[in-house]
Amino acid sequence: MLKISDLRKIEEFDRKIREVLGPDSLPEYTVEPIPSGVPILLLYERGALSAVFTKGALAGGQDVTRNVKTILSVPLNLHSILAGKEPPARLEVWGTVYAERNAVKADIGYESMTDMVSASLIGADVRDTARFPLNMFCHGAEQEFELSRYIGASSHFEVMLMLQDWGFRVNKPHIRLCSGITDVIQAIRTVEERKESSYDLAGAVVQLNLLAQRSAVEAASVLKGVIQYEIKPPQGG
């Protein structure tokens, strides 16, 4: 996933998407805060968690299956609670492992919360991982267009609701639906100003909400329908 730290790049991202979709298009987006932590990809086969790997350029591809299974907010088995539509035979979901501030001692012994999460997850003894107050938010699924057809949905937001129904922890109260780039920029600024957040923020993920639009963009260009805005750390801290 492309990561940027300049709001003008978000505007450029929207401009390129509209160029692909056509001049009369109005892309719809979701904007969601991303905690500081370790991005992961979870693989479920026949509803059971079978493998978990870290994502990202710095430490991607690390097998953290046994460690992640100690995190209480990560479902080990998926079942529909309300919708009655069970998950497909194979499902890949991505999210972020993080720690709540109020669950960690003031002096954590690491330069950042992300460093603490990384140390407690990657290469750690599972007994040590289990002692850390780790949590997880799900942000979406791989191949969402195909998944949306399976569940009878048309948008990323609807997919997120289904993931929640299957047992995943999603940050639904803070997922904002945006009808255009102006709303997207405002939503990102709102994330940046979230002083009351219970966790350190890495930034915000912006996703094309209508999955038909996302599929069309990705089929016709090198663009992806997802981009992450990174919050710059405060100077001198």
pLDDT computed for residue 23 by the predictor: 78
Instruction: Name the average pLDDT for the chain.
Output: 89
pLDDT computed for residue 233 by the predictor: 62
Least confident of 8-22, 120-134, 187-201: 187-201
pLDDT computed for residue 197 by the predictor: 74
What is the CB-side half-sphere exposure of residue 58 using CA atoms within 13 A?
Answer: 7
pLDDT score of 8 more than 50: yes
Query: Mean pLDDT over residues 41-65, rounded?
Result: 90
How confident is residue 65, by pLDDT bands cut at 50, 70 and 90?
Answer: very high
List, for residues 16-34, the tens digit of each pLDDT value: 999 999 978 889 999 999 9
CB burial of 156-185 (b: ≥16 within 10 Å; e: otherwise) equals bbbbbbbbbbbbbbbbeebbbebeebeebb
pLDDT computed for residue 58 by the predictor: 63
List, for residues 151-197, the tens digit of each pLDDT value: 999 999 999 999 999 999 999 999 999 999 999 999 999 998 876 67
List, for residues 72-90, the tens digit of each pLDDT value: 999 999 999 998 899 999 9
**Could you tell me if 226 and 142 are in contact, meaning their C-beta atoms sit under 8 angstroms apart?**
no
Nearest to 97 by CA among 141, 57, 39, 42: 39
Domains and CATH numbers, the chain: 2-230 (3.30.470.30)
pLDDT computed for residue 109 by the predictor: 67
Query: Mean pLDDT over residues 52-65, rounded?
Result: 85
List, as one string, the DSSP characters of 50-79: EEEEE-STTTTT-B-HHHHTT-TTS-SB--
pLDDT computed for residue 237 by the predictor: 40
pLDDT computed for residue 236 by the predictor: 43
pLDDT computed for residue 153 by the predictor: 95
pLDDT computed for residue 195 by the predictor: 63
